[in-house]
Chain A
Amino acid sequence: MLSALGKLLREFYSAPYRGAVARAKREEDDLFMLLVFSEMVGVPNPASYYTLELQPLLYDDFHEWHKRMGMDHSPLEWFSCC
């Protein structure tokens, strides 16, 4: 019964702000993406060796991201998602 109450409270807590929280998280993630792929927009990146290692991990989300940023086609020559 306590766990049912806990679930109810949890729903009550998260329901109205789920969208706002998810959107805030998405903005943070988008900024991170931008930092990782910053070379392609011409921003010199002092941590380029490290971000290069991270790039393959982010390819799954890359398409959604560049669409959100307003780029119709993939800006990377070596990775054409569309």
Chain B
Amino acid sequence: MNAIVLLVVGFAVFSLGYFFYSRFLATKVFRLDPDFVTPAHEQEDGVDYVPTRPIILWGHHFAAVAGAAPIVGPGIAVVWGWLPAFLWVTIGTVFFAGVHDFGALWLSVRNKGRSIGALTEDIVGRRARSIFMIVIFLLLLMVNAVFGIIIAEEHINVPGSVIPTWCVIFVAMAVGYLVYKRGMSLLWVTVIGVTVLYGAIWVGAVVPLSLPETMFGLGAPAQWVIILFVYAGIASVLPVWLLLQPRDYINGIQLFIGLALLYAAVVIAAPDVVAPALNQNPPDNAPPIVPLLFVTIACGAISGFHGLVASGTTSKQLDREPHARQVGYLGSVGEGTLALAAIIACTAGFATFADWDAFYSAPFPAAGLSAWAIGGANIMEAGLGLPANIAETLLAVMGILFAATTMDAGVRLQRYIIQEWGQIYNIPALTGRGVSTLVAVGTCLLLAFGAGGGGAGGRVIWPLFGTSNQLLGALTLMVMTVFLTKLGRATWVTIVPLTFLIVMTIPALIIQLRDFWNAGNYLLVAMDLLILGASILVALEGMSAIGRARRERAAAA
């Protein structure tokens, strides 16, 4: 079977979802009102609340949510064959992620642009809000730790990625300085910056760098993880115009370029999908496909993280309510296309089934980012004539930069939460910038090392990251359900995904608990129990809140 079939069917499903299902949501469920005065107008202040063109907002939402997860998740999940991953990504994007992202954006816009966390307290209650903060903290902890591990590993698997990745920091700072302090034309700075980045990729492919095998008793992966977290800590306290803003910008640009190149290569090369539809021979330690598929691929099917993005800045910049359909729903469709590209790269990028099987016979979870880089590089070489080693470096750098920008933002968000807790619970030590950054980075490092002793085994926490992500998604859907119930609208659009997520996440956590216990990794057992506890709380709180809202609605009617 040819990869073009996956491409065409995938895009067809996404298109049908956008044209039919999102229209249904927009007209019948959310009832988008073109005359509704959005917070961008009502509270317009030229700073946070600024009406923005929908294409810009879409670009941002897409770039912000398109991280390493839609690449790594499918990269791991195709071990079960291409069909399950393909079905979950396509159907999930249409019925789950689309509803979640679109709904979170709409919910925030209808409520003065407030974030989902604040809305949880207003709409559901104080207890739900506390659960929400715990889940967010766990999610941030997991995302920072697992992304740090993945970047470290990819630096070792593709040593050519070292130079370009760290070069980007200087390119970003130069862009930030020239644009903010010198007021240079962004167009030219962009062209030069992107050229330097791709030049650095070429240099990196030719000059691979590796850290020493051991230093101070730490293996190379552990060294990289430490370097990354030191960087993340520093990046989170630098002025945003100097590093984070230009970094995000460059990230967005190279997302579009990379996706365009990869899809063009797929169309031209038309590679065959060598992976089986359903793998009859998965590795011995591979967990059951149900429920683990649904927590291995989160972003690209549904991810709670996106609700934070949608209700963070996007909702404060939405010009008119009907734009929410383009920005929210189409944003998650965009991410679906990235996940689809990853599936194609990891199933059609190998020359033969034997090659694919050799890679995916490794213990679960496989090195998803490496599969993406290797597979994608083969396709790019066949389709665009780009030498495989340069293409591999390009794709590896792409995945690493996605993960790194998420880490930057994740450490900063974690720091804010710790500072907020310091304020709420009256622990003055935690409110300082230095201490809170150290606590944030310290906890992530602890988890990263505890997961795999700083070795490549750290990837084992990927499904755990998936569960916390899905849990946040479930929580957001729960808040949406309660709000929709109060408005008397159809709630099955949110209840079905919500129930599915809880029903898949809790067994997945129990299975993982058994695996971690058998492996003797008690730190992960503890993390698992924490997330399991939070899941049960979310499930109970959800049932109680939705039940209450239903009763109130029935009483009022």
Contacts and interface: CB of A to CB of B under 8 A. Distances in A.
Interface in B36-95: 46-48, 50, 52-53, 55-57, 59-60, 64
Interface in B159-188: 179-180, 185-187
Given A21-B241, A21-B245, A24-B240, A15 B57 contact: yes
Contacts of A19: 47-48, 313, 316
Given A15-B56, A15-B60, A9 B241 contact: no
A6 B187 contact: yes
B185 A18 contact: no
A12 B185 contact: no
Contact of B187 (A9, A11, A17, A22): A9
B481 to A, nearest CB: 29
B53 to A, nearest CB: 7
Q: Is the interface of A mostly helix, strand, loop or mixed?
A: helix
B240 to A, nearest CB: 5
B287 interface: no
A12 B187 contact: no
A11 B47 contact: no
Interface residues of B, number: 30
A24 B180 CA distance: 13
Tier of interface size on chain A: 20 to 34
B47 A22 contact: yes
B186 A15 contact: no
A2 interface: yes
Contacts of B245: 13-14, 16-17, 20-21
Contacts, number: 62
Nearest to A17: B245
B190 interface: yes
Given A6-B186, A18-B48, A19-B48, A11 B56 contact: yes
B190 A18 contact: no
B248 to A, nearest CB: 7
A21 B47 CA distance: 9
A5 B187 contact: yes
B52 A9 contact: no
A20 B57 CA distance: 17
Contact of B52 (A10, A15, A22): A15
A26 B248 CA distance: 23
Contacts of A17: 240-241, 244-245, 248
Nearest to A28: B239
Given A15-B52, A15-B317, A16-B313, A9 B190 contact: yes
A10 B175 CA distance: 12
B252 interface: yes
Interface string A54-73: 00000000000000000000
B240 A12 contact: no
Contacts of A5: 187
Nearest to B244: A17
A59 B9 CA distance: 65
A18 B47 CA distance: 6
A17 to B, nearest CB: 4
B186 A13 contact: yes
A63 B239 CA distance: 27
Contacts of B55: 8
Given A12-B252, A16-B248, A19-B313, A2 B60 contact: no
A10 B190 CA distance: 10
B311 to A, nearest CB: 14
A22 B48 CA distance: 9
Given A15-B60, A18-B47, A10 B186 contact: yes
Contacts of A18: 47-48, 50
A47 to B, nearest CB: 26
B255 to A, nearest CB: 12
Interface in B170-214: 179-180, 185-187, 190
B249 interface: yes
Nearest to A10: B186
Given A13-B245, A19-B48, A6 B240 contact: no
| Residue of B46, B56, B246, B316 most packed against chain A (CB within 10 A) | B56
9 contacts: A9-B187, A10-B186, A12-B59, A13-B245, A15-B57, A16-B60, A17-B244, A19-B313, A22-B46
Interface of B: 46-48, 50, 52-53, 55-57, 59-60, 64, 179-180, 185-187, 190, 239-241, 244-246, 248-249, 252, 313, 316-317
Interface of A: 2, 5-6, 8-24
Of all A-B residue pairs in the complex, the 8 with the closest CB atoms, nearest first, are: A19-B48, A22-B47, A6-B187, A17-B245, A20-B240, A11-B56, A10-B186, A13-B249
Given A17-B240, A24-B240, 9 more contacts: A8-B55, A12-B249, A12-B252, A16-B245, A16-B248, A19-B48, A19-B313, A21-B245, A24-B241
